[in-house]
Amino acid sequence: MKLSELKTGERGVIVKVMGHGGFRKRIVEMGFIKGKVVDVLLNAPLQDPVKYKILGYEVSLRRSEADMIEVISVEEAAEIEKNRPKISEPLEKESDSLSDTQLRDAAMKKRRTINVALVGNPNCGKTSLFNFASGAHERVGNYSGVTVDAKTGHASFEGYDFNIVDLPGTYSLSAYSPEELYVRKEIIEHTPDVVINVIDASNIERNLYLTTQLIDMHLRMVCALNMFDETEKRGDNVDYAKLGELFGVPMIPTTFTTGRGVELLFHIIINMYEGLDFLDDKGNLDPEVAEGIRQWHEQYRKSEKEDAEHEEDFASGVKPKHNVFRHIHINHGPYVEEGIEAIQAVLKQENDLRHRYSTRYLAIKLLEKDKETEHLIVSSTSRAEEIFSVRDKAVADVQNYTHEDCETVIMDAKYGFIHGALQEAGYQTGNKKDTYQLTHLIDQIITNRYVGFPIFILMIWIMFEATFSLGQYPMGWIESGVEWIGTTIAGTMPSGPLKDMLIDGVIGGVGSVIVFLPQILILYFFISFMEDSGYMARAAFIMDKLMHKMGLHGKSFIPLIMGFGCNVPAVMATRTIESRRSRLITMMILPLMSCSARFPIYIMIIGTMFAQHIAPV
């Protein structure tokens, strides 16, 4: 529950402080530290602000601020204590109340649940990490947009429970496509405790653009340099420790298909989650927090394969080792920075915005004239006109001095920062082995202007020929089996309505549907094969121009082919199409793609409506 939900006279224990980094830091510095008991002393006459007592002194918070602090109430703590086999202190016989120690133990148990969001470019390996960590079996495809909504899984590691959310792949946090908008809303409205930014290490420069946008949001973040084995085979060189230092984010080499680096990744997440908010200006950790982290580390030290040094080591005492994480401001140039500061000055006067969002991130999005951010400002504050006026002046100044629009200037500055950081980290692409040699060779054949379309037609012909020709054999077996069951029941049961219902209704009805199951399964097998092999993306590439002539996007080919299997996932797959117009047209056409499940319906309608026109075969 939230601290704002406690009533006067009630008490609770701090579990965690939510919101963005700047707000969390200020609240923690006021004494709202995990595990501390807080009492509600007094509500103002208008119910806002509220006076609390914590660490022996009294402090007032607005309800909007208290709403960002998660606590555990006495009732919740008592419920947790009942479910524990042993408790640290027995309940007093004369009272059902819990001691402060028991309240703290219950709060610490609840705190050991970490909400993690996986964010990254399409095809960078987010779903592979999700499957490896949670034991789930989500679909891993070879084209963008496989994850079309958020998938949630759970994992346990070193005494902590992780709620892992696999977000759709996105190249940026701009509101150009449904994926980008969905990811941004998920991060802002359901701020995770830690963000794992999954980066394709073999295409690191392109992937780091999204990292710079996440840095603007002031989130606790760790970067997983996935597919690191491919960069090693290719002979790439990069000082990832130096790169992490420049970005202010830990960079962990990983290979999710084999599990390399995953344990270290989650170990560092726990260190960051428990320690980052409790560092003072000199980089020293709160002694009580440091002792708690040390005890946790000692408890699980034996389970580690190696006790090697790593980044974000908060278990080494009051002074953490290798502390890389820090909030940096990417310099977008003097004119853009002046505009950001001017907009921030107005935004910081709005408490609701200041507590829930990074004002720097909002200022950057306003300079980019992001429609969703403008809508947020209008709906969240009464000073929208003043904010937009300051923004418009800043945009005009940038335009006058740079002769470029703000969005272009900001984008160029981010890529300039990325390029400079990679140079300083000694990034070089190797040439030991072309890890994409086979892929490039196959691409030259299947996307060739002369043989590409014949191969495409051949693939589609094989898919449907196998579906309807090979499918006839199991269909005949199923039909014979259903007929045998019906005949057996007809010969053993006495005549009556129950017999008619079983034979004509249940067996006849179900049998007429499941007879088409082999065709559906064969069709799905071929669709899955084309997805996993990467041919689906290549087919969309060669079909793009033809699709455009019909008013569709090249990506429309993927949901249209999927429509032969089932229209429901096909409609969901249209979210990968950036253009809203093309997306709607594709969805309108999809019902015309007949999936196998419709065949029995067609047969029933034809047999009912056109029985008199049946011709002998």
Instruction: Kindly state the percentage of the chain with pLDDT values over 70.
Output: 88
144 has a pLDDT exceeding 70? no
* pLDDT digit string, tens, across residues 282-310: 778 778 888 888 888 887 765 454 456 67
pLDDT at 89: 47
| 512 labeled part of a ligand binding site | no
Check whether 228 is labelled as a binding-site residue.
yes
Rounded CA separation 254/260 (Å): 5
Superfamily of domain 112-303: P-loop containing nucleotide triphosphate hydrolases (3.40.50.300)
Note whether 3-110 and 112-303 share their fold. no
Residue 169: partners with Cβ closer than 8 Å, 6 or more residues away: 120, 121, 122, 123, 124, 126, 144, 145, 146, 147, 179
Question: With the CA atoms of 492, 494, 495 and 499 taken in that order, what torsion angle do they form, in degrees rounded to the nearest 10?
Answer: -60
> Distance between CA atoms of 123 and 170, rounded to whole angstroms?
10
Confidence (pLDDT) at 422: 93
Give the pLDDT of residue 573. Answer: 66
Residue-wise pLDDT for 101-135, tens only, equals: 777 777 777 788 899 999 998 888 888 888 888 87
Task: Say whether 556 counts as a known binding-site residue.
Answer: no
Q: Is 351 annotated as a binding residue?
A: no
Mean pLDDT of the chain: 81
> Does residue 605 surpass a pLDDT of 90?
no
What was the pLDDT predicted at 617?
53
Determine if residue 115 is labeled as part of a ligand binding site. no
121 labeled binding residue: yes
For residue 9, say whether it is annotated as part of any ligand binding site: no
pLDDT class of 82 with cuts at 50, 70, 90:
low
CA gap 438, 442 in Å, rounded? 6
Inform me whether the pLDDT recorded for 42 exceeds 80. Answer: yes
For residue 48, give the DSSP letter: -
169 is in an annotated binding site: yes
Does 481 carry a binding-site annotation? no
For residue 102, which of 126, 124, 80, 71 has the smallest C-alpha distance? 80
Secondary-structure percent of the chain, ordered helix, strand, coil, rounded to 5: 55, 10, 30
**For residue 462, is pLDDT > 60?**
yes
Task: Tell me the whole-structure pTM to 2 decimals.
Answer: 0.74
pLDDT at 410 over 80: yes
Residues 490-536: tens digit of each pLDDT: 888 888 888 888 887 888 778 777 877 887 788 778 877 877 777 87
Tell me the pLDDT band of 197, cut-offs 50, 70 and 90: very high
Q: Is 125 marked within a binding site?
A: yes
The answer on whether 167 is annotated among ligand-binding residues is: yes
Six-digit token string for 251: 């960079």
Residue ranges of domains in the chain: 3-110, 112-303, 334-403, 452-598
Span of 249-263, 416-430, 529-543 with lowest mean pLDDT: 529-543
The answer to the question of whether 448 is labelled as a binding residue is: no
CA distance 194 to 113: 11
Tell me whether residue 148 is annotated as binding.
yes
Tokens representing residue 257 in the block: 């298909």
607 assigned to a ligand binding site? no
pLDDT band at 614 (very low <50, low <70, confident <90, very high): low
More confident residue, 188 or 425: 425
- 513, containing H or E segment: helix 508-514
Ligand-binding annotation for 438, yes or no, is no
207 is in an annotated binding site: no
pLDDT number for residue 391: 92
581/561 Cα distance (integer angstroms) = 19
For 3-110, CATH number?
A: 2.30.30.90
Residues 6+ apart with CB under 8 A from 535: 446, 459, 529
135 marked among binding-site residues: yes
Alpha-helical (H) ranges within 235-357 are 240-247, 262-275, 287-300, 334-347, 351-356
What b/e sequence results for 414-443 when a residue is b if at least 16 CB atoms lie within 10 Å of its CB, and e otherwise? beebbeebbeebebeeeeeeebeeeeeeee
Give whichever of 400-409, 456-465, 603-612 has the largest mean pLDDT. 400-409
Q: Does the annotation flag 420 for ligand binding?
A: no
Q: Identify the three-state secondary structure at position 255.
A: strand
Ligand-binding annotation for 131, yes or no, is yes
- Residues 198 and 124: beta-carbon distance below 8 Å: yes
The reply, when asked if residue 134 is annotated as ligand binding, is: yes
Is 145 within any annotated ligand binding site? yes
Q: Tell me what pLDDT residue 297 has.
A: 80
Distance CA 408, CA 402 (A): 10
